[in-house]
């Protein structure tokens, strides 16, 4: 390293090694008039953590003193401390003997595992979203910052990780990961007086604008005609999305569907413990929905209708959704339309689309609300204990029929029988 080239930006740009750690020495470098003593350097770990160190020899033996982590310690502050330490060494003192023992630290992965075991999957009160939280930690957090020690974790690590999650899975998923990790670290901070939560999370902001998240997106008929054949080629992911639209249920509710939840009468019962309203929801499956579901291959020792490769509930929606978007864009271009003709959409938009299609099919709003599993407010919700099974079945059959008419529109010169009779009678 060129002496004199010491700055915060220089330290930031030091490349982490492939494994272990590496040390870059800055002996003789100056910063704001302060000259770094011999043995002064910056240690960088494979995970990207940086710390200032001082190597020195005393009574024939090499020693290494860790001054502090960057950016908690600025380069100028670390150089000044290193100069004081070097003076003590020159007087024959050993700074390590006077230093309090450094407390052992758990890795971020260890903190997460303890949090999942003791809080998320607590035997007495496990969270309904435990599988979703576990999946987010395993896929998005541990591979990126899991090896970093909890004491060494800094907001720059968290911010960089969330940037990558946002790029791959969108701002909403990044905010979910942020909330999960903050809860885990807050839980750990209550149990370790030495852990500094602010160092890891202060000023790490949310990615999604709440106002922008209040969506009204509904897929158009043309978009449905483009997307449906692509879903038929997308395996379990495509079948899952078809079921989302045909049942008007939420993504994770469909992803966690099991064969045992589907009764011989064709009613899918979503148990209360994994339903958002904490009430079980009974969904009379339409003929079209049953055809999609029954076409899914069954796996040994796996009860999920839409399993992952490891026989768990389907997860990791980001990559297959990105492939689907790309296929939709290609389909648009084949028809001479620009890519910009396809506005961004989310899987939850399918649920909103289903609600809108039921309205077009003549389903009463109160019935479609019950299909969606919403809690009915007021006196009606309190005293009306009718199951509405027949009404919900009729609504979902009308939804399927509406989708069928959209996918296979009649020629413009063909009139519906009811409309023809009305004209004749007139």
Percentage of the residues of the chain whose pLDDT score is greater than 90? 41
Q: What is the average per-residue pLDDT within 66-91?
A: 91
Q: Per mean pLDDT, which range of 36-45, 76-85, 147-156, 349-358 is the poorest?
A: 147-156
pLDDT of residue 120: 93
108, 153 Cβ separation under 8 angstroms: yes
pLDDT of residue 261: 94
Please tell me the pTM assigned to this model. 0.54
**Residue-range domains of the chain with CATH:** 8-98 (3.30.160.390), 108-213 (1.10.150.130), 221-407 (1.10.443.10)
173-198: string of b/e by CB count within 10 Å (b at 16+)?
bbbbbbebbeebbebbbeeeeebebe
- Report the alpha-carbon distance of residue 40 to residue 274 in Å, rounded: 56
Q: What is the pLDDT of residues 257-308, one digit of tens each?
A: 999 999 999 999 999 887 877 788 899 999 999 999 999 999 888 899 999 8
pLDDT of residue 379: 44
Q: Is the pLDDT of residue 39 over 50?
A: yes
- Report the alpha-carbon distance of residue 197 to residue 185 in Å, rounded: 7
Q: Is the pLDDT of residue 84 over 70?
A: yes
Q: Give the CA dihedral 91, 52, 183, 161, nearest 10 degrees.
A: -170
Q: What is the average per-residue pLDDT within 323-339?
A: 78
pLDDT band of residue 409 (cuts 50, 70, 90) is confident
Q: Is the pLDDT of residue 325 over 70?
A: yes
Q: Is the pLDDT of residue 116 over 90?
A: yes
Q: Is the pLDDT of residue 358 over 70?
A: yes
* Beta-sheet pairing, 34-35 with 40-45: unpaired
pLDDT band of residue 207 (cuts 50, 70, 90) is low
């Amino acid at each position: 390293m060129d002496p004199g080239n010491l700055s915060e930006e220089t330290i930031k740009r030091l490349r982490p090694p492939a494994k272990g750690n590496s040390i870059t020495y800055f002996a003789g470098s100056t910063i704001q008039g302060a000259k770094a003593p011999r043995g002064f350097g910056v240690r960088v770990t494979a995970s990207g953590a940086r710390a200032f160190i001082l190597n020195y020899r005393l009574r024939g033996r090499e020693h290494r003193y860790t001054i502090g982590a960057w950016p908690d310690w600025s380069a100028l502050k670390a150089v000044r401390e290193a100069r004081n330490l070097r003076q003590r060494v020159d007087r024959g003192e050993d700074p390590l003997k006077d230093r309090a023992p450094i407390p052992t630290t758990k890795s971020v992965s260890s903190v997460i595992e303890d949090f999942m075991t003791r809080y998320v999957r607590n035997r007495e009160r496990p969270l309904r979203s435990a599988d979703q939280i576990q999946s987010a930690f395993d896929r998005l957090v541990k591979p990126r910052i899991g090896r970093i020690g909890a004491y060494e974790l800094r907001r720059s690590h968290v911010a960089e990780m969330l940037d990558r999650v946002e790029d791959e899975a969108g701002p909403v998923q990044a905010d979910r990961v942020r909330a999960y990790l903050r809860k885990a670290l807050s839980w750990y901070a209550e149990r370790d007086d030495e852990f500094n939560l602010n160092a890891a999370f202060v000023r790490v902001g949310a990615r999604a604008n709440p106002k922008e998240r209040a969506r009204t997106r509904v897929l158009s008929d043309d978009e449905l005609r483009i997307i449906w054949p692509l879903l038929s080629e997308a395996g379990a992911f495509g079948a899952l999305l078809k079921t989302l639209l045909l049942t008007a249920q939420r993504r994770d509710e469909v992803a966690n569907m099991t064969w045992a939840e589907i009764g011989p009468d064709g009613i899918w019962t979503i148990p209360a413990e994994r339903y958002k309203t904490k009430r079980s929801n009974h969904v009379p499956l339409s003929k079209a929905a049953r055809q999609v579901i029954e076409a899914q291959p069954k796996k040994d020792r796996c009860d999920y209708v839409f399993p992952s490769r490891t026989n768990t509930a389907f997860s990791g929606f980001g990559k297959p959704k990105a492939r689907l978007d790309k296929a939709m864009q290609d389909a648009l271009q084949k028809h001479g339309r620009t890519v910009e003709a396809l506005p961004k959409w989310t899987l939850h938009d399918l649920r909103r689309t289903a609600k809108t299609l039921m309205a077009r099919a003549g389903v009463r709003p109160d019935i479609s609300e019950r299909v969606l599993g919403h809690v009915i407010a007021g006196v009606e919700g309190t005293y009306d204990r009718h199951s509405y099974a027949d009404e919900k079945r009729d609504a979902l059959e009308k939804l399927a029929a509406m989708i069928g008419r959209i996918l296979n529109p009649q020629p413009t010169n063909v009139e519906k029988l009811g409309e023809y009779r009305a004209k004749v009678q007139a």
